[in-house]
Amino acid sequence: MDKSKIILLILLSILALLCVGCIENSTISAKTTINAESVEDYDISTANNAFAFDMYSMIKNEDENVFFSPYSIFTAMAICYDGAEGSTKEQMSNVFYYPLSKPVLEGSSKEMIGIINSGSEYYSLETANALWVRNSYPLNEQFVSNSKTYYGGKVTNVDFRNEPEKSKDIINEWVASKTNDKIKDLISDDMIEPDSTVMIITNAVYFKGKWLNEFDVGNTQKEPFYNSSSNKEETLVDMMYTEEYFSYGESEDAKIIELPYKGNDLSMYIVLPNENNIADFESRFTHSEYGKLKSTLESSNDVRIWLPKFTFTTNSELVDPLKNMGIIDAFDRENADFSGIFDIQRVPPGYVLKIDEVVHQAFIDVNEEGTEATAATAIEATDDAPMPGQIMEFKADHPFMFFIEDQRTGCILFMGKVEDPEYEKMS
């Protein structure tokens, strides 16, 4: 029996350069979104954000930085979902909160991509999809059409069988061009298997922006940062400082602040636990709790903020996390059903196409001039907001979580945790 595989590559580059300006809390909304019968009924941002917290719970590591793009993963897998059937489709729907109606997801995805790629004079934000397909592979024409129409996924034929090295170089060049050369050589020498690789799907998200209120470089000083590990001494880091009017909120467990970017379409939300207990905090900080904390935000608070500069790269293999979340058949040699991707009439009986790898790379750089961000919807108001006129203090000198959101859609584009902010400027 012929066995073929898809390699799914999810790429991400998030920049702010000096040179340029858990599942339990998601299932209620999931039932509604999965059964949506129209684009108007489907809240793609809520689905994406619920998935974001589910994935975070799977990939977080104690004493390590975390950074990924739920939107990038959500969108890349949506292309595969377009060709999924049977239990494979059902499992992907349950994990990603995709609607059972594929046309609903297609239309919603097209709208989202259109907003993200709408352009701005204040920042750069772009997402791109591409499908790299083995020469003469019998793709389903409808799958090709949907990929182009709804996801902007250009299909390019490459010779995986006879020229794997050249194929690797072609894809890596595309990756570099879409991520400002921050992600190179993503395709390793042994990733392409000439006898079985038939398709590589790539998704890239790139953002570069400046803070609406930039930090004064002259105020940055070496100050201590206390990470979670009790057997480590305090670390001296480059700590930025400013006093400005920000949206600020707090609960019994944490503080939250919104740092908008120029253009006001994107913001970074920083969630700082009151105690240095990030492992305990993140284990119970769900999608619902995030919404509640955001509902305490009040604008125009005078806030003194200390925030470390940080930059790091993460590399993740997501097959095991996705399996643990409930996607089993898509990776299974016997049960995968992506019959909507290929032309059934042109493959031998018993032909199977499965996903083999899901690779995610991410890069972030936060400094005095910028980074990236965006806001989502508030859930409920509380009485924990500060009184007007107070000067609030937000000192991120211990591990914290952060979110970059698109204010126009309410979609969490990027999500992470800073455990070790030691800053090393990237070229």
pLDDT at 106 over 50: yes
Strand partners, 418: 400
Q: Identify whether the C-beta of residue 303 lies closer than 8 Å to the C-beta of residue 248.
A: yes
Determine the Cα–Cα distance for residues 301 and 79; give it in Å rounded to an integer: 43
Work out the average pLDDT over 189-196.
84
pLDDT at 274 over 50: yes
Query: Band of the pLDDT at 197, cuts 50, 70, 90?
Result: confident
Predicted pLDDT at 310: 93
State the fold for domain 217-308+371-418: Alpha-1-antitrypsin; domain 1 (2.30.39)
Determine the Cα–Cα distance for residues 329 and 349; give it in Å rounded to an integer: 19
Residue corresponding to tokens 């090393």: 424
Residue corresponding to tokens 């994406």: 48
Predicted pLDDT at 5: 60
pLDDT at 272 over 50: yes
SS3 139: strand
Predicted pLDDT at 233: 63
Helix (H) or strand (E) holding 181: none
Work out the average pLDDT over 56-81.
92
SS3 199: strand
Determine the Cα–Cα distance for residues 91 and 304; give it in Å rounded to an integer: 46
For 16-68, write each residue's pLDDT tens digit: 333 333 334 444 355 556 788 899 999 999 999 999 999 999 999 878 999 99
> Where do the domains of the chain lie?
3-209+312-364, 217-308+371-418
Q: Identify whether the C-beta of residue 230 lies closer than 8 Å to the C-beta of residue 223.
A: no
* DSSP string for residues in 3-65: EEEEEEEEEEEEE--TT---HHHHHHHHHHHHT--STTT--HHHHHHHHHHHHHHHH--TTS-
Predicted pLDDT at 26: 44
Predicted pLDDT at 293: 96
Q: Do domains 3-209+312-364 and 217-308+371-418 have the same CATH topology?
A: no
pLDDT at 71 over 90: yes
Q: Higher confidence at residue 119 or residue 1?
A: 119
Predicted pLDDT at 49: 96
What pTM did the predictor assign? 0.89
Instruction: Give the percent of the chain with pLDDT over 90.
Output: 62
State the fold for domain 3-209+312-364: Antithrombin; Chain I, domain 2 (3.30.497)
Predicted pLDDT at 370: 63
Between 66-70, 80-84, 88-92, 189-193, the lowest mean confidence (pLDDT) is in 189-193
Predicted pLDDT at 105: 97
